[in-house]
Amino acid sequence: MDRKALWITQTGVLLALLIVVQAVTSGLGNTLVTGSLVNLILIVAVTTGGLASGLTIALLSPIFAFMFGIGPAFPQIVFCIAIGNAALMIIWHLLAGFNKRQNIVNFVMATIVGAVIKFGVLYLSVVQFVIPILLKMPAPKAAMVSGAFSFPQLITALIGGGLSILVVPVLSKALNRQRMS
């Protein structure tokens, strides 16, 4: 299989897996489970398929979640999630991505830095800008929506990164790619 066909196949499979995970776990009502698994899939994409694969899935994921009614109800927030996901992918690509030395130190650094950056992007864009300025939500509703885009985002990105330490080496080996050293 040529490289482009492999990239399309791998990215498509990971995107489909992400949509299924979102659909199945959203019914649990636990954003910790859904968010952690989504972040894991995003990290798998960027570490096994490269930045283009990670960004493709990162940007499409919140759009599909919105279209299927399993994501946020506001398109303005969908855009913010896409940007937060993209920031996570860029950090992972720079610190531990495909064709980089993938070891536990780089994965831990990417997990921590990526989680903090994604949290910062979502907090600033959603909690400090979209909710009060664009959506002008009343205080009780604003507090509820803001809660989902503050520390839970940090926690789910940390968990997703932690899980990637277990999953990526196995997948990389199965795909005959680099191994953790």
Amino acid (one-letter) located at 130? V
| Overall domain count for the chain | 1
pLDDT of residue 160: 97
Amino acid (one-letter) located at 115? A
pLDDT of residue 86: 98
Amino acid (one-letter) located at 34? T
CATH code at position 145 = 1.10.1760
Q: Kindly report the number of other CB atoms within 10 A of residue 125's CB atom.
A: 19
Nearest to 145 by CA among 157, 160, 128: 128
pLDDT of residue 1: 63
Does the pTM of the predicted model rise above 0.95?
Answer: no
pLDDT of residue 165: 93
Distance CA 1, CA 49 (A): 15
- Residue 179 maps to a domain: no
pLDDT of residue 179: 41
| Mean of the per-residue pLDDT values of the chain | 90
Residue 124 belongs to domain spanning:
3-174
Q: Kindly report the number of other CB atoms within 10 A of residue 136's CB atom.
A: 8
- Residue 144 maps to a domain: yes
Nearest to 107 by CA among 51, 164, 58: 164
Nearest to 156 by CA among 103, 84, 101: 84
Query: DSSP E strands: which ranges in 17-92?
Result: none
- Residue 181 maps to a domain: no
> What does the pLDDT look like over 80-102, one tens digit per residue?
999 999 999 999 999 997 777 77
pLDDT of residue 69: 83
Q: Give the residues of the chain that fall short of pLDDT 50.
A: 178-181
